[in-house]
Amino acid sequence: MRLLEKILVILICLPSIYSSVIVFTALKAPDLFLLMGFTGLVLMVLSGYMVDVIIAALYVPAIASFILFLLNYPQPIMGLAAGYVIALTLLLLLVMFNHDSPHTYLAIYLISIFLDMSLLAASKTSTTSELLLRNLFYGVRKFHGVMDPVFSIVIVPSVAALLYHIFRLLKPSTSTITSSHRSLIILLLSSLPILGLTILSRYSPGYAWISSTILSLILTIFLVLYLNLGVKIT
């Protein structure tokens, strides 16, 4: 992986890294199996699926926790499961990074953001691995997003990196979203209505909700009409 790609991956994974850090800091006591579950999965992907790493970091803790579970000690397996769930948000983005279809990567990214938000919501108060899992699964019904200012800030470079990644794939072309003035200006112009909506949501969330719905409808209808009437292929 080239340096640029490494930077891109790190930037795209920023929200997931942030949510993982928050979950770890919210733990009442350090959980060895949770840590092993998290690092095991991450190491497996980063090592390029090396057999030795998979056996040491994945199979050994899994077998050990399962034996303990059979001996009536369920905490280790719960910790391991919680570690896997936390690692999942990172893994999705890492594994799918070189996938050919950018729309799949976008969907994966949005799912990962949703999981990050769920993790952040589940670890609002100090927690344990069992509580974290319970909050994650039972809290979905009551879950209505999370307002974490740092999380909102880290999403900005992450989305920028995501756009750079998904709109550069016409090989052997080397064009990227930042290589032309036009796309850079449009990137800035696009952020204006979003900025307006964000400010509006501070004062009146209801109006912001309606405005964003109207904006999305206008965009879609305009795009359909413009492409069918404006630039019809002759």
Partner 1 sequence: MLNKRAVYIYQISATFFLMSLILSLQPIMITTLYIMTFITLYVIAASRELKKVSKEDFVSILSVNPNPATINYEVRVKGSIFLRKWRKLLVKIEIDLGDLHLVRGSNVWTGALSAGKEVLVEFAARSDDIGIRFIGPLRAAVFDPLGILVREFEIYPRTAILFLESSKLISQPILHSKSRHPSPGLSKDSFVGMEHEYRISLPEIHEPQAKRIDWKKIARSVEEEVYVKQFDKLKRADLVICIGSGFDIELPDNGTVEAKILQQVLLVTLSHIMEGTRIWLAKYLGDGKFATTLLGYSSFGLKLIEAKDIPRNLQMIYLTRFIDDSEIDAIKQLIESRQIDPIVIAINLGEELLKYHGREYASKILEVEDRRLRLNADQLGLRYSVTDIEKLQETLRRIISFRRRI
Interface residue list for partner 1 (CB under 8 A): 15, 101-103, 106-107, 110, 113-114, 117, 143-145, 147, 151-152, 155, 159, 163, 166-173, 175-177, 179-180, 182-183, 186-187, 189-191, 193-194, 197-198, 201, 209, 212-213, 215-216, 219-220, 222-223, 226-227, 230-231, 233
Specify whether the CB–CB gap between 61 and 34 falls below 8 A.
no
> Judged by CB, which is closer to partner 1: 30, or 172?
172
- For the chain, first and last CA: distance in Å? 43
Q: Determine the Cα–Cα distance for residues 81 and 10; give it in Å rounded to an integer.
A: 24
C-beta closer to partner 1: residue 66 or 209:
209
Shortest distance, position 213 Cβ to partner 1, whole Å? 6
Q: Which amino acid is at 213?
A: T
Smallest distance, partner 1 to C-beta of residue 216, A: 6
Cβ proximity of 61 and 36 under 8 Å: yes
Please state, in angstroms and rounded to a whole number, the distance separating the CA atoms of residues 21 and 36: 15
Shortest distance in whole angstroms from residue 10 CB to partner 1: 18
With respect to partner 1, which residue has the nearer C-beta, 65 or 158? Answer: 158
For residues 48 and 98, is the Cβ–Cβ distance under 8 A? Answer: no
Q: Give me the least distance between CB of 114 and partner 1, in Å please.
A: 6
Which positions ≥6 away from 170 have C-beta within 8 Å? none
